[in-house]
Chain A
Amino acid sequence: MSTNAPAEPPPIGGEAIKVEDLHKSFGTNEVLKGINLSVATHEVICLIGASGSGKSTLLRCINLLEPIDSGRISLWGAEVTGPDTDQNLVRRHVGIVFQSFNLFPHMTVLRNVTLAPAKVLHLPRAEAEAEARALLSRFGLGDKEAEFPERLSGGQQQRVAIVRALAMRPQIMLLDEVTSALDPELVAEVLDLIRELAATGMTMLIATHEMGFARDIARRVCFLEEGRIIEDAPPAELFSDPKDERTRRFLRRIVDAGRL
């Protein structure tokens, strides 16, 4: 895995994700209160904010795992929140990785990775497996293909989960606090993998509590509080000179906890 400086990613392209005035409630609890966000192709954006600020819900809405109440989400200019959207087609192009890995426990690593390419892209088994093996060994998991998930460490499981999403050749990856459930010594291996993805130009929207990582990798960092984007700025600006008092308060707590 690359700890040395990766090659320059491709230049920022056109708009990949556009979120307009997105509202989402669970029962009486309004989790998203009008989110506006635009992500360009090849851009990496980090979402930071306390638990419950709406980061995960926003990512799940973009993957269409949660129906939205009002507003609009478009991918490459086409609305995906309309009534006749083919959700499965959208999800083929937008991968999501969860905090809790969510690997399929009854399948080997290889089956976990090949299931969707075989069933959705209809790749022949041999081709799906060859591609899966290539991805697995590229991310240091080449010897794990026959293992079942519960035999792997948390870091390995999360890397398999990322590979599983990548096997669908998505154009956008949504990462939902993918290191939050990991032991501290396993965080680096997952972050390295994400850095490598960013270097290839993958468009990513990353919810994270790893401030140092966000500062390194993101082109823009968005601070969320109570369902709103409070501040949206390049990391250098947001971390060293936050404009909003709420952002400053949040960052001060992070610094006090020794995490920045």
Chain B
Amino acid sequence: MDEHQTGPAGPPDPEFAGTDLAGVGPPSASAGEAGIPWQPPGSFTRSRRGSRLLGGVSGTVISTTSTIVVLGVLVAIFLLAPGARAVEHAFFNPQDMWASFVGDPQKGYYSVGAAIWLNIRMFLAAEVLILILALLIALVRQSVHPALFPIRILATGYVDLFRGVPLILVIFAIGLGVPALSLPGVSSQSNAVYGVTALVLSYSAYVSEVYRAGLNSVHQSQTAAALSLGLPRRTALRHVILPQAVRNIVPPLLNDFISLQKDTALVGVLGTIEANKAAEIYSEQVFNFSSFTVAAILFLILTIPLARFTDRLIERDRRRRLAGAPA
């Protein structure tokens, strides 16, 4: 029996002893000023002032209208600015945008559209390696075994170092330092490989912290439940803790990967012809910045679908568990 429902036997609570409970209203103490009897409100309909400014107009119409108004104001500000013509020519010139997109080796500039493929390849390679390396670092830092103490210190130092040093410095350090070492095999790679290495080193430090947060977000009672069934720690981690941790960190992980897609542009400082570098070369040859706009649009085309894809994953996972049907 629930103790709240049972309650102690005995006389009724003295506080309510004198209260007249015959009416439907609350005790008269809450009626405010003495002498004014409490009245039921009569209607619980929301008043039409304030939030219902547009009355019965549907949500779609409201959102469309507000979008048009906001965009209209922004475009108007841009067009009315004193330098609008100059900026439009320098950044949004259709001829230059097309020319930089397709490229023309004869005139000394590369295709930004082709160069973005290098960004995509660098991103994909880096992403896979980051997911693996970051997980290893996170697991080492979470480990409790005394024998792993030196590795734990090492992992902590690694994270401190690569989170603290700006990515562009890491790219320079790897891209210029490793070739200078003249190690056979290692020192003769392309700049794109050094760039990816730098991205992996830097991002793994961040992503390992995301993993760690995810591992900590799984309540320790889950570990207890898994261990209590006789599962070895490693099995418990793999089948019980990690799947839940990863589910919890998909949004922040994706956030980091959107960042990573853009940061592949930094590898251009080593002279690698990726999208940003190609755009820069175009602008130096032709003295027009529209190539950068093309690069920006291409990066947007890459990142926006990734964001929508994550939203879908999260929603599908939520629905699947609510529906109770195995996928």
Contacts and interface: CB of A to CB of B under 8 A. Distances in A.
Contacts of A104: 222, 225-226, 240, 244
A154 interface: no
Contact of A258 (B1, B226, B230): B1
Interface stretch (A40-48, A85-93, A127-135, A239-247): A85-93
Contacts of A106: 243-244, 247, 321
A105 B244 contact: yes
Given A102-B224, A104-B226, 10 more contacts: A91-B230, A102-B221, A104-B240, A115-B231, A115-B239, A120-B232, A146-B325, A151-B324, A168-B229, A259-B1
A148 interface: yes
Given A105-B244, A119-B231, A148 B224 contact: no
Nearest to A60: B224
Given A151-B322, A258-B6, A258-B8, A120 B230 contact: yes
Contacts of B7: 258
Nearest to B233: A88
A147 interface: yes
B235 A119 contact: yes
Interface of B: 1-3, 5-9, 221-222, 224-232, 235, 239-240, 243-244, 247, 320-322, 324-326
Contacts of B247: 106
The 9 tightest CB contacts between A and B, nearest first, are: A102-B225, A258-B6, A116-B229, A92-B230, A151-B324, A91-B230, A147-B324, A120-B230, A184-B2
Given A105-B244, A119-B235, A147-B324, A100 B230 contact: no
A125 to B, nearest CB: 14
B314 to A, nearest CB: 14
Interface string A213-225: 0000000000000
Nearest to B241: A104
B248 to A, nearest CB: 10
Contacts of B222: 102, 104
Interface residues of A, number: 35
Interface of A: 60, 63, 65, 87-89, 91-92, 95-96, 98, 100, 102-106, 108, 115-116, 119-120, 146-148, 150-151, 164-165, 168, 184, 256-259
Contacts of A147: 324
9 contacts: A65-B224, A89-B230, A91-B227, A146-B326, A147-B324, A151-B322, A184-B5, A257-B3, A258-B3
Given A119-B235, A258-B3, A91 B228 contact: yes
Contacts of B6: 257-259
A184 B5 CA distance: 10
Nearest to B2: A184
A88 B224 contact: no
A95 B227 CA distance: 10
A46 B3 CA distance: 21
B244 A96 contact: no
A258 B1 CA distance: 8
A116 B235 CA distance: 9
A95 B224 CA distance: 12
Given A106-B243, A258-B6, A146 B1 contact: no
Nearest to B320: A148
B249 to A, nearest CB: 14
B228 A95 contact: yes
Nearest to B229: A116
A91 to B, nearest CB: 4
A148 B228 contact: no
Contact of A168 (B230, B239, B320): B230
A165 B229 CA distance: 7
Contacts of B5: 184
A105 B320 CA distance: 12
Nearest to A174: B228
B214 to A, nearest CB: 13
A179 to B, nearest CB: 12
A259 B239 CA distance: 41
Contacts of B239: 115, 119
B128 to A, nearest CB: 23
Given A98-B221, A100-B221, A184-B2, A65 B240 contact: no
A120 B229 contact: yes
A11 B263 CA distance: 72
Given A102-B222, A258-B8, A88 B232 contact: yes
A108 B8 CA distance: 43
